[in-house]
Amino acid sequence: MAVHQWLGVTVIAIVFSRIVWGFVGSDTARFSSFLVGPKSVSRYLKRFISRRDDVAFVGHNPAGGWSVMLLLAFLVFQALTGLFSNDDIFFDGPLAGFVGKDLSDVITGLHHQLFEILVILIGAHVVAVIVHWVFKRDNLIRPMVSGVKKFKSDMKAPSLQPAWKAFFIGGASLAILVAALLSLE
Ligand code: HEM
Ligand code: HEM
């Protein structure tokens, strides 16, 4: 449970950093650059299915942008409910004492159910990446790792923020969260 708790807390710090990065990070990481309305998403999906043309994007595509938000939201719910959960025997999440046993039991049930949804979302996410690769010859994994993507036609390159800024935001979030939790113990 101790390992489970600290991995879960790391997830909170990573997702929190990603949300901050969505406002101050590189162009392609900003929510304003990849969150578009339902019409754009359905237009993208129709083009994708009809296979008429090349639909590769700099950064997340219109459907991918919303799937990122869904994954981030469920990761946050999962880890936050964990803080209030208990295992009935040895372990109480660090915030379980604040809500009382009955409510903590309800939240523990939620923590279990959310995980099942998360697994489905992650499965769909991996299938989507494979579908892009197999049917569109659009390898999303390489640019995610290297930060470099090649296009057949000219594209405007996004402006990238320095890596130290990301490490600073990540390190600061983790330090604040760990300090807060240690002070509760
Ligand atoms: C994204 C992060 C997390 C994931 C994916 C996750 C996943 C899970 C899963 C699948 C279980 C059920 C295990 C089982 O039935 O054997 C569980 C139980 C539990 N988790 Fe998490 N968890 C996360 C974060 C946290 C955090 C941050 C805490 C608290 C600090 C926490 C506290 C607990 C507790 C107390 C249980 C036991 C509940 C019980 O026995 O019914 N979890 N977690
Ligand atoms: C074999 C497993 C996985 C593969 C191959 C994979 C692949 C990818 C790829 C290629 C992207 C970039 C998508 C794009 O260019 O638009 C991405 C983004 C993302 N993935 Fe995964 N993924 C995997 C597992 C997971 C898991 C387990 C989670 C959650 C626990 C996850 C959460 C995310 C999130 C939140 C993003 C958005 C990142 C951002 O914009 O900062 N992925 N993944």
The tens digit of pLDDT for each residue in 92-107 reads 999 999 999 999 999 9
**Mutational pocket test of ligand 2: of 70, 129, 141, the residue with most ligand atoms within 8 Å of the beta carbon:** 129
- The pTM of the full predicted model, rounded to 2 decimals, is 0.91
How much is the pLDDT for 53?
61
**Which residues constitute the domain of residue 143?**
2-184
Decide whether any atom of ligand 1 lies within 6 Å of the 9 Cβ. yes
Protein residue closest via CA to atom 37 of ligand 1: 87
Measured CA to CA in angstroms, residue 164 lies from 29, 85, 119, 145 at distances of 15, 35, 32, 17
Q: Is the CB of 104 under 6 A from ligand 1?
A: no
Specify the pLDDT at position 56: 75
Q: Which two tokens stand for residue 95?
A: 């915030």
Q: How many domains does the chain have?
A: 1
22 close to 119: Cβ distance less than 8 angstroms:
no
* pLDDT band (50, 70, 90) for residue 148: confident
Does 86 have pLDDT greater than 90?
yes
- Average pLDDT of the residues in 18-32: 95
